[in-house]
Structure 1
Amino acid sequence: MEPAVLVERQDGIAVVRLNRPQRRNAFTDVAMIDEVADTIRALDRDREVKCLVLTGNGSAFSAGGDLKAMLDGTSLVDRERPEATRMAYRRGIQQLPELFEALEVPVIAAVNGPAMGAGCDLAMMCDIRIASETARFAQTFVTLGLVSGDGGAWLLPRTMSFADACELAFTGDTIDAARALEIGLVSRVVKPESLIEEAMSLARRIARHPADGVRMTKRLLRMGRNMQINHLLEVSAAMQALGHNTPEHRTALAEAYERISRKPAR
């Protein structure tokens, strides 16, 4: 069987592609989710990786849950034992939001097509989202009489206004890339043929900086959403002390000073 995830590396950037194009990159079972999680976890631990770009193979970013697998009873759902379904969610799809929240390496979602249900939530787990003009987004859970089982209710109001989050969650409406840009779900919309290069260009701008500083900055931004300012300042002081003692900082500091000293005084 083809791997569920493909990885390409280039200059400290890893492009991670969901690889179930025939199923629109839907999450078919726990094994696929484990493969996605294990791949991203390993890349986060690799100090040579400075940025991730997450996208989908084929025409979709991710269709979310696999409807056929749900109907066939081969997904996370056990209709005879609700407690088993609960544990399958905890061990399965719910490991992704916890993993993404704990990552140090920055992640850019290059949304190449539909991102529906859990696929929309997966995009929101990323730090930055760039969308193709062909991208579509929807919180489809209510249309099936369900709730977002993978953290969407936590992600939505942290990505857009509470009112916009409610509208998407309550209606299950599909929105296009232009509307996603209006409400802050994505930060830019580009031509389909330019999507990966736009994402790579942004990733290169991130990857050119000392990795420790970027990773600690990401952790501060993530932690800061749920911390009081005094606690955040304490953590940032500790991180700053670490940063001052890295070789990368000393090299960057010397280079910055040399550039400034070469400029004529005014």
Structure 2
Amino acid sequence: MIQTPLVNDASLTVKDGYAILRFERDDLRNALTGTTLIDDLCSTLDWANANKAISCLIITGAGKAFSSGGNVKDMRDKQGMFGGTPAEISESYRNGIQRISRAMHSAEIVTIAAVNGAAVGAGFDLCSMSDLRIGCEHTRFGETFINLGIIPGDGGAWFLQRLVGYQRAAELTFSGRIIDSAEALSMGLLLECVAAEDLMATAERYAASYASKPPQALRLSKRLMKAAQRQELGDFLDVCADVQAQCHHTADHQRALDAFLNKTIAKFEGN
């Protein structure tokens, strides 16, 4: 049994095969800086990666906002990670907000952003780092760094253009404008847009579906999709052949075959 991580500014709910991490700092619009939310998210991802009983993590916010990203008042007052010399601020970014980028990119489990409200700046980038995004009528996105005279220091430009293409990512980055859920859906930022009261049920429906699949094959599938983004086809096919050979020797593969042929429901064990 892997102990559930301690979170301070969030709540973590564990269900059958998936978990829900909810940001609980509505007083600060769930800002990622000036709170413990960076630690809460990264420790939860580390726990989920190590816990083979977890296949999916839903990330959402309590209150009106998903996340406002960096704390603007701290920027103004040069407090926390925004204080010090340029070298010190650079180090603060590497050891602070950029931990989320690395942790999300290396997550072995499926990540779903249930975007309950505004997601701007680093909050928007966190959504872009997720595998899936489910929104509602309250969802708003904005790559708003330019409006404050800064750039996406969390690496958001790397994620966003891979999600919507260079041209759309460039327009959002250069304008800093806020888009609503309808536009986000039309450009592929959202997989679905549902009524606010249905948001979590929809996200959990996806999570439960993925949690019902063979856990090892699910994680390997995600790992291969990430690898495909950076490998040539020939190299990638070699990796696929080796991974597939391993899958054919798992007990879950046999369970899946038996269930398919016997028209039953398989109970997978991750081996």
Cα deviation, 1:187-226, whole Å, max 9, x if unaligned, reads 1101000000000011111111100111100111111111
2:240 matched to which residue of 1?
236
1:4 Cα deviation from its structure 2 partner: 1.6
Q: 1:203 to 1:20 in 2, by over 3 A?
A: same
1:77 matched to which residue of 2?
82
SS at match of 1:61: strand
Sequence identity (%): 37
Name the Cα RMSD after superposition. 1.5
Opposite residue 54 of structure 1, the aligned amino acid is I
The answer to whether 1:23 aligns with 2:10 is no
Residues 13, 21 of structure 2: 8 Å contact kept: yes
Number of residue pairs matched by the alignment: 258
The answer to whether 1:185 aligns with 2:189 is yes
Q: Give the TM-score normalised by structure 2.
A: 0.92
Q: Which runs of 5+ in 2 are unaligned?
A: 1-6, 265-271
1:1-266 to 2 correspondences below 5 Å: 3-29=8-34, 31-78=36-83, 80-259=84-263
- Mapped partners of 1:204, 1:178: distance in 2: 26
- Mapped partners of 1:57, 1:131: distance in 2: 14
- Mapped partners of 1:30, 1:174: distance in 2: 24
Cα deviation, 1:140-159, whole Å, max 9, x if unaligned, reads 10001111001111011111
- Mapped partners of 1:241, 1:19: distance in 2: 44
- Mapped partners of 1:250, 1:29: distance in 2: 49
- Mapped partners of 1:129, 1:117: distance in 2: 16
1:32 Cα deviation from its structure 2 partner: 3.5
Q: Greater shift after overlay, 21-30 or 125-134?
A: 21-30
Residues 4, 36 of structure 1: 8 Å contact kept: no
1:71 Cα deviation from its structure 2 partner: 2.1
SS at match of 1:194: helix
Cα deviation, 1:231-264, whole Å, max 9, x if unaligned, reads 111221221122112111111111212239xxxx
SS at match of 1:52: strand
- Mapped partners of 1:82, 1:205: distance in 2: 46
- Mapped partners of 1:161, 1:87: distance in 2: 30
Residues 137, 181 of structure 2: 8 Å contact kept: yes
1:184 Cα deviation from its structure 2 partner: 0.8
- Mapped partners of 1:182, 1:236: distance in 2: 33
Instruction: Show structure 1 runs of 4+ deviating over 4 A.
Output: none
1:30 Cα deviation from its structure 2 partner: 7.5
Q: Give the TM-score normalised by structure 1.
A: 0.93
SS at match of 1:197: helix
- Mapped partners of 1:28, 1:224: distance in 2: 32
Cα deviation, 1:62-92, whole Å, max 9, x if unaligned, reads 00100112223323112x4110100110111
Opposite residue 115 of structure 1, the aligned amino acid is A
